[in-house]
Amino acid sequence: MMGMGRGGRTYKVLISDLLTSLKKNRDEHLQIVEEAQSKFREMAIAELDTMLRDAKANKRIAMRLSLVMPTQHTDAFDNAIGLMEMTQRAGEDAIEIDADEYERFVRNNWEWTEKFRASNAGYSARI
């Protein structure tokens, strides 16, 4: 919820500025996700090819992939962007946010950021 962080202090900011940050951050996030998913698929196919080759050669088969599934959180960006756009359409040009929301929306440091980096780092050069 907007403006309801731990510290209690809120700051009035322009919605247009928040939207600019959120859209830029979402685009960067999506570029990482697309690169990571592409590399993940490439690596998964290579592992599956090895399994198939081993199966055809009557060798012992490793029946699981040793890869970490890349994660993505575009829904978090879409939710925040949607809220800002609806608020703008309602006639508001500014909104109050707290320091935690600023950290997420502007600095792109969400609760899931470290897990996102960890799950995608092996597949994307952008991290």
CB-CB neighbours of 89 under 10 Å: 8
Number of residues that make up the chain? 127
Q: Is residue 1 in some structural domain? A: no
**pLDDT profile of the chain (127 residues), mean per 10:** 67 98 98 98 96 95 90 98 98 98 98 97 94
Number of domains in the chain: 1
Burial group, residue 116, by CB count within 10 angstroms (0-12, 13-18, 19+): buried
Q: Is residue 65 in some structural domain? A: yes
What are the two backbone dihedrals, phi and then psi, of residue 10, each rounded to the nearest 5 degrees? -120, 160
Provide the Cα torsion 31, 111, 74, 84; round to 10°. Answer: -120
Q: Which tens digits make up the pLDDT trace of 72-96? A: 999 999 999 999 999 999 999 999 9
Q: Domain residues for 47?
A: 10-120
Q: Is residue 126 in some structural domain? A: no
pLDDT of 10 reads 97
